[in-house]
Every structure is written in C-alpha cells, then in structure tokens.
C-alpha cells in the first residue's frame, strides 16, 4: 500500500492521471478536448446532458481538460468568470466543494485566484460550513436536513478538508462510521439501511481511510473479495452484484481501488482497455456511461479518460 503523503489526495490523483495520459496521440487528445469544450456555455460554465451550466459538470470538465494537458488562458478566464458569479458563503455544501475544487484547479492552470480578496480566515469559514452537515453517526450528510451520513459525501468532505490544509474533527468517529457501513461480502454501502455493497461506496470508503488512517491488511483482503464479485464479463466493474453490466464510473473507482491497494492479478488491464475503446469511447470524442448508453457527457468522459490513464500508468 502507498506510503502516507502530505500532498492532498486530489492533487496526487490529478498529477498521476495527467502524467499517465501524456502519451495519448495528438489527434485522439484533440477529439476529447473538442468534445469537452463543446459543452461550455456562454456564461463560461459547462453543462451536463440537460445543457445548463452547473458547478458539478464544470468541475468534471476542468479536471478532464487538466488530464488532456491543461487549460489555455482563455479557457481559464471563461471558467473563472462563471465561478466568480457565485458567493461561496451562500452555496450548499455540495456546490461549495465543487466550487473550491474548481477554483483551485483554475489557479493551478495559471488562471485568476478567486480567493485572493477573501477574508484571511476563509478556510476556517469553509470548514464550519462542512461541519454543519456532520451527523451523529460520525459521517457527513449531503445537507443540513440529512439525519444519516453518506459514504460518498463523507469522502468528499474529507478531501475538501485536505484542500483546506486540515483534517476532519474527530477522525476516529469518521473511521468508525466507515466500518459501520461494511457488509459481510467485504464491501461498503452508501447509507446505513442499505444491505447490498456497492463498488463506488467501497472505493469512497477506501479513499477516505487512506486519508484519515484506518487501513489494514484485513480490510484490504475484504475489499479484494468484494471486487471479485462485481467484476463483469464485459471487462469492467459493475456498480453492485445485482447489476449485470459494467459502467465507466464503477470501472474507474474499482480500478483505482485495485491499484491503490496493490491488488495484483485481480483484473486484466487489456480487457478493461478493450471495454473502454470498443464500447464507451466515441470515435468523435467523449465517452458514454455504459454499453447501452447512446450519448457521451463530460462526467463519463472524465471517467473514461481516467480509466485509460490508470491502465497506462500500470503498463
């Protein structure tokens, strides 16, 4: 397993994916860049399948462009203009996390620092917003109305704390929250009442534990056993045992977990790449979510590119 690092998880992951994707041939790279840029709206943000600009999809677009070599000054400027329309103090926690992540990415690519004139204690103010969705079970909910913690939300909050240069308060309670959501098959569920483990909440659990501490060999072996159950004959990972098809998101999070835990021999990189290129990648640019999907979008393009990068990093 990897050694602890003081560099935030999201920064390490971005560097890893960008470096691994560098050998992509220029024409293929340009097709995917063109697809992502085609989804940019007049306000500078990026839209999903419905078309309107959204902080969620803008975050995926910026990260996708980053993997493909970064952003031009004009691209940074237009995204910064979109981000500048928001007052982060009024955003809900989910939007706040997407906003901060994208603001920092734009700054890394040479764009405007949208926090340059913020109060000196803006990290502490943001941390207080995060703690407003802390739940009694030790995790974090999606909103202040949430009574129970969400695995994915707790993972995102943990990553946001890292970007702020902090750790979540009461980390032991957070670790216990994760263990309470493990099921007998070795995987994890998104919320407490769920019985069937999922690939994505399992990946979130392992990512969270790698940040706050709590990983051990027994847990690593549990996750290996679970991931065997959600490997699809299509050549990717299923979202859970009951779903019969692989998808781009689950394949990305499953493959990332396999690599982060050094679960050698669990998957075939060659088979995954064939699944991606034969079924998910559009020859005109962009990736769809699953073999039955008929449309590419910016989120699944990020996951498709991310899968290729992970595969090439292991080659």
What is the three-state SS of 45-78?
A: CEECCCCCECHHHHHHHHHHHHHCCCCCHHHHHH
Q: How many domains would you assign to the chain?
A: 1
Using 50 as the pLDDT threshold, list the residues of the chain that sit under it.
Answer: 1-4
* 3-class secondary-structure state, position 188: strand
Domain for residue 84, yes or no? no
Q: How many CB atoms lie within 10 A of CB 233?
A: 11
Domain that holds residue 162: 130-213
DSSP string covering 12-33: HHHHHHHHHHTTS-HHHHHHHH
Structural domain includes residue 171: yes
Provide the 10 A C-beta neighbour count for residue 307. Answer: 28
Cβ neighbours of 8 (radius 10 Å) = 18
Q: Which residue has the tokens 């070795």?
A: 186
Assess if residue 227 is contained within a domain: no
262 CB-side CA count, 13 A:
6
Q: What is the pLDDT of residue 1?
A: 39
- Interval 56-91: pLDDT, tens: 999 999 999 999 999 999 999 999 999 999 999 999
In a 13 Å sphere around the CA of 127, the CA atoms on its Cβ side amount to 13
Residue 172 lies in a domain: yes
311 in any annotated domain? no
Residue 113 in any domain: the answer is: no
State the Cα–Cα distance between residues 268 and 275, nearest whole angstrom: 11
C-alpha–C-alpha distance, residues 203 and 151, integer Å: 10
Residue 46's DSSP bridge partners are 40
Return the sign of the alpha-carbon dihedral for residues 222, 157, 17, 63.
positive
Q: Is residue 52 part of a domain?
A: no
User: What's the token pair of residue 214?
Assistant: 């709590």
Q: Is 42 exposed, middle or buried (0-12, 13-18, 19+ CB in 10 A)?
A: exposed
Q: What is the pLDDT of residue 5?
A: 56
User: Token match 């704390």: residue?
Assistant: 161
Q: Tell me what pLDDT residue 252 has.
A: 98
- Give the number of other Cβ atoms within 10 Å of residue 188's Cβ: 27
Q: Kindly state whether residue 184 falls inside one of the protein's structural domains.
A: yes
Cα separation, 265 vs 114, whole angstroms: 45
The H-assigned helical ranges of 261-297 are 269-275
**Model pLDDT, residue 6:** 77
């Amino acid at each position: 397993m990897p050694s602890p690092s003081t560099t935030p998880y999201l920064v390490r992951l971005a560097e890893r994916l960008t470096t691994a994707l560098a050998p992509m041939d220029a024409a293929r790279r340009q097709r995917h860049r063109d697809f992502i840029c085609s989804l940019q709206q007049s306000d500078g943000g990026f839209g999903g399948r419905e078309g309107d600009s959204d902080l969620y999809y803008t975050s995926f677009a910026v990260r996708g462009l980053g993997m493909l070599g970064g952003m031009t000054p004009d691209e940074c400027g237009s995204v910064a203009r979109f981000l500048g329309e928001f007052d982060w103090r009024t955003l809900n926690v989910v939007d706040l996390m997407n906003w901060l992540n994208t603001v920092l990415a734009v700054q890394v690519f040479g764009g405007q620092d949208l926090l340059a004139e913020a109060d000196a204690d803006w990290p502490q103010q943001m941390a207080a917003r995060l703690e407003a969705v802390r739940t009694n079970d030790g995790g974090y909910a999606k909103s202040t109305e949430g009574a129970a913690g969400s695995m994915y939300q707790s993972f995102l909050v943990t990553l946001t704390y890292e970007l702020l240069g902090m750790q979540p308060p009461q980390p032991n309670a957070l670790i216990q929250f994760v263990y309470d959501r493990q099921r007998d098959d070795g995987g994890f569920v998104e919320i407490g009442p769920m019985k069937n483990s999922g690939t994505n909440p399992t990946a979130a659990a392992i990512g969270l534990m790698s940040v706050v501490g709590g990983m051990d060999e027994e847990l690593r072996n549990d996750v290996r056993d679970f991931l065997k159950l959600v490997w699809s004959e299509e050549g990717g990972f299923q979202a859970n045992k009951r779903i019969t098809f692989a998808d781009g998101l689950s394949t990305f999070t499953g493959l990332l977990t396999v690599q982060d835990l050094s679960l050698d021999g669990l998957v075939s990189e060659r088979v995954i790449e064939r699944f991606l290129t034969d079924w998910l990648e559009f020859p005109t640019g962009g990736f769809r979510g699953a073999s039955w999907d008929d449309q590419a979008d910016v989120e699944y393009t990020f996951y498709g590119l991310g899968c290729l990068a992970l595969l090439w990093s292991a080659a």
